[in-house]
Structure 1
Amino acid sequence: MGTWDVGPFDNDTAADFAGDLDEAAEGERERMIRRVLERVADAEDRLDTPDAERAVAAAALVVAQHPDGEPACSVYGPSEPLPEFPADFRTLAVEALDQVIAEPSELAELWGEAQDGPKWRQGVVRLRGILAPSLPPQEETLFEIH
């Protein structure tokens, strides 16, 4: 894991995704984020770490546009402006985050073995809570700390 902290953009994959967004044509950025969220939200098999890391970063960008949200990481996140996301991005982001922290997610497994794993999980659950404060998690395992 090329990871230096627990934030959504605090790993090589997410920082590279932010760079890809910055380099993409303005009209392509929304589609890139949608593709990441859909791929992870619809995952039926074991979710691999890079897809999960991109999904957490994409969800953080959706949270940044929520009235109760917070800005995305200014250091490693995208620098170029992003379009206003459609309302369905919130649902897609929640579904993707549910997949990221549920089994069988390789990223959740790796963080489960790390000292800062509980802190990482709390950050993901917090992002999810901003997007869907009244929706219960899909599985109880979302809040378990291994």
Structure 2
Amino acid sequence: MDTWGTGSFENDAAAAFVKEVIEDGQVALEEAFDVALDPDISELEAEEGARAVAAAETLQAHLSGDSEPISDQGLREWLGDLLPEELSELRPLAVEALERVLGPDSELPASWEAAQDTREWRQGVERLQAALRAD
């Protein structure tokens, strides 16, 4: 997985995931959370963790009405077509998925440990998790 920044969409896995959301809608979000939470997966791969973070960021953008973190125009349009109450049932899954992404059984934090931006990345994911918990 190539990464070019600490933001939720600043890696190859997230960029590919955005295309899936535009094509498959809510199902893509649900799948990203389900994979992250699969109890049969002993260690969450970095790509799957990045997809869960992007899914959570997409969900938060919709629930808060703040699409600033979303740079892809197609994804913004998809979010704009949703009713305000849509996707709200995914909030608990997103919070739990982010917990797994940040946990010891996830490759993503370990892959960031070697980078100088590890603190910024972790704070971004924690900020997202807190925002999803608060609403």
Q: Give the TM-score category using the shorter length.
A: 0.7 to 0.9
Name the count of aligned residue pairs: 130
Q: Which runs of 4+ in 1 moved over 6 A?
A: none
Structure 1: segments with no counterpart, 5+ residues: 135-146
| SS of the residue 2:44 aligns to | coil
Distance 2:97 2:49 in 1: 8
Matched ranges for 1:48-127 at <5 A: 48-67=45-64, 71-75=68-72, 78-82=75-79, 83-84=82-83, 85-127=86-128
Question: Contact conserved, 1:9 with 1:76, CA < 8 A, in 2?
Answer: no
**TM (normalized to structure 2)?**
0.85
Alpha carbons of structure 1 residues 100 and 54: separation in structure 2 relative to 1, 3 Å: same
Query: How far off is 1:76 after superposition?
Result: 8.2
In structure 2, the residue matched to 1:3 is 3
Distance in 1 of aligned mates of 2:28 and 2:56: 12
TM-score where L is the length of structure 1: 0.79
Structure holding more helix per residue? 2
Tell me which moved more, 92-101 or 40-49.
40-49
Change (3 A) 1:68 1:20: closer
Query: Distance between the aligned counterparts of 2:127 and 2:74, measured in 1?
Result: 18
CA deviation after TM superposition for structure 1 residue 46, in Å = 0.4
One-letter amino acid of the structure 1 residue matched with residue 57 of structure 2: A
Structure 2 unaligned runs (5+)?
A: none
